[in-house]
Structure 1
Amino acid sequence: MEFFTVNDIKKAFTNGEVREEILKGINISLKKGEITALVGASGSGKSTLLTIAAGLQPASEGQILFEGKNINAMNQEQIRKIRANKFGFVFQFAHLVPFLTVEEQLILMLDVSETKLTKQEQKREVNRILKLVGMDHRKKAYPSSLSGGEKQRVAFARAIIHKPMVLFADEPTASLDSKKSKEMMTLIRELTKTLNITTLMVTHDEEMLSYVDHIIKMSDGLILQTDESTAVHQVIS
C-alpha cells in the first residue's frame, strides 16, 4: 500500500538575481516494507529530495503526503513531532553522542520520541533492538571503543528504536568498507521487511542496489528512470 507520496516537488534557490532550480517537479510513491534507492551523479538533487521528503527542509512547490497529510504545509512543531515519532534517520556518519553509552543513546531517542515507556520498559526495548542489530553485547560501551561498522549498527538501532514508519538513509554505507557495507545493507533490508518500514535511501554505491526494491535514477533535478531491483541477498553470517 502506498502511503507516502511526493507530488510535483520543486526546489529552487535564489542567489542575487540568479535563480537555480535544484528539483524540477518530482513525483514518487513509496510502499510499506520496501526500500527505494535514489541514485545519480553529485548535484542531481537526490540528497535534496531526501531531506525535503524527511521534513528537514521545505520544498518551494509541491506536496509531501504522509498518511494523507501534506508535510510541506505543516508548521515547524507539527513537522518536529512527525520526525521524532514516525521517522527514523541514518546518515553517512553515525553522529553518536560521545559521552553516552550504546544503551543510553537509544534511551535518549525514546525520550525524544515521546514513546511514554517506563524506565524498565525502555531498557527491555533497548535490549530487544540491540539484539536485532547484533550489538546487545556492547550496550555499556562508549562510541570511542566501537568500530565504524559497530557505530553504524548503533545508529541504525537508534533510528528504529521508536518504531518509525519511514526510515531515511543518506549514504548509510559510505564510511564503511565493502564487507561492512554489505552487512549494513543486509541489516537494513531484513529489518525493513521484518518491521514493515518504508525506507528511502541515497547511495552512490552500485553494489548496494541489489539490496533494494526500487531504483530511481536522477539527473539535473529530474527523474530519468525508475527500475525494479532484484534484491536477492541473504543474511551474512
Structure 2
Amino acid sequence: MSIFTIDGVRKSFTNGEITEEILKGIDLSLKEGEVTALVGASGSGKSTLLTIAAGLQPATDGQISFDGEKMNAMNQEEIRKIRASKFGFVFQFAHLVPFLTVEEQLMLMLDVAESKLPKRAQRKEVERILNLVGMDHRKNAYPSSLSGGEKQRVAIARALIHQPKVLFADEPTASLDSKRSNDIMSLIRELTKTLGITTLLVTHDEEMLVYADRVIKMSDGLILPN
C-alpha cells in the first residue's frame, strides 16, 4: 500500500535572470514497510527530492500526498506538525545535543512530537526503542563518550521514538567506516520491517543498496528508467 505519492514534482531556483531547474517532473510512490533508495551523482536532485517530500522546502510545481492528504494544501503550521509527529529524520551526522544523555535526547523528541503519554510510559518507550537499536546499556551516556556508530544508532532511535510513519535518511552512513555503515543500514532495514514504516533513503554508496527493496536512479533532475 502506498502511503506517500509524488506527482509531477518540479523544483527551480532563480538567480538574477538565470533559472535552474533541479527537478524536472518526478513521479514516485512509497510503500509501507519498504526501503526506497535514491541514488545518483552529486547534483542529480536526490537530496532536493527528499527535502521536498519531507516538507522541508516547497516544490515549484507538482503534488505530494501523504496518508491520503495533499501536503500542498497545508499551511506551514500543519506541515510542521506532520514533520514532528509523523516523520523521522536521520542525516549524515547525528546532531545530538551535547549536554543531554542518550535517554534525554529521546525524551526531548517526545516533547517535540507533543506525546500524550505520561512521563513514566515515555521512559518505558525510550527503553524499548533503545533496546531495539542496541543502545539501552548506554542510556545515561553523553554524546562525547559515544563512537560514531553509537551516535548514529541513537539518532535512529530518536527518529523513531515517536512512532513516525515515514523515515527520511539522507546519507546516514557517509561519515562511517564500512563495518559501521553496514551495521547502520542493516538496522534501518530491520526496523523498517519490524515497525512497518516507510523509509526513503539517499545514498551515494552503492554497497548500501543491498539493504533497499527498491532503487531509484536519478540524473539531472529526472528518474532514470530501470
- What's the TM-score once normalised by structure 2's chain length? 0.99
The answer for the alignment partner of 1:160 in structure 2 is 160
Of all paired residues, the percent bearing the same amino acid is 77
How far is the alpha carbon of 1:27 from its aligned partner? 0.2
Q: Point out where structure 1 has 5 or more consecutive residues left out of the alignment.
A: 227-237
User: Equivalent residues in 2 for 1:6-155 (5 A)?
Assistant: 6-155=6-155
Distance 2:179 2:27 in 1: 34
Residue deviations 1:131-159 (CA, integer Å, cap 9, x gap): 00000000000000000000000000000
Secondary structure of 1:225's counterpart equals coil
How far is the alpha carbon of 1:225 from its aligned partner? 2.8
Distance 2:25 2:70 in 1: 16
RMSD across aligned positions (CA): 0.6
Distance 1:225 1:113 in 2: 38
User: Equivalent residues in 2 for 1:200-211 (5 A)?
Assistant: 200-211=200-211
Check if 1:191 corresponds to 2:191: yes
Distance 1:75 1:13 in 2: 22
- Which letter maps to 2:205? D
Residue deviations 1:4-31 (CA, integer Å, cap 9, x gap): 1000000001000001000000000000
The answer for the alignment partner of 2:175 in structure 1 is 175
Residue deviations 1:76-109 (CA, integer Å, cap 9, x gap): 1000000000000000000000000000000000
How far is the alpha carbon of 1:3 from its aligned partner? 1.8
Distance 1:72 1:89 in 2: 20
Distance 1:225 1:36 in 2: 15
Moved >6 Å (runs of 4+): none
- Which letter maps to 2:167? L
The answer for the alignment partner of 1:224 in structure 2 is 224
Distance 1:129 1:140 in 2: 14
How far is the alpha carbon of 1:110 from its aligned partner? 0.5
Secondary structure of 1:89's counterpart equals strand
Q: Is the 8 A contact 1:11 1:24 kept in 2?
A: yes
- What's the TM-score once normalised by structure 1's chain length? 0.94
Residue deviations 1:174-212 (CA, integer Å, cap 9, x gap): 011000000001100000000000000100000000000
Q: Point out where structure 2 has 5 or more consecutive residues left out of the alignment.
A: none
Distance 1:211 1:3 in 2: 20
Distance 2:73 2:203 in 1: 28
Q: Is the 8 A contact 1:22 1:45 kept in 2?
A: yes
Distance 1:20 1:39 in 2: 21
Residue deviations 1:9-68 (CA, integer Å, cap 9, x gap): 000010000010000000000000000000000000000000000000000000110012
The answer for the alignment partner of 1:234 in structure 2 is none
Distance 2:3 2:48 in 1: 21
- Which letter maps to 1:166? V
Distance 1:73 1:40 in 2: 30
How far is the alpha carbon of 1:72 from its aligned partner? 2.4
Secondary structure of 1:174's counterpart equals coil
- Which letter maps to 1:52? I
Distance 2:71 2:93 in 1: 26
Number of equivalent positions: 226
How far is the alpha carbon of 1:115 from its aligned partner? 1.6
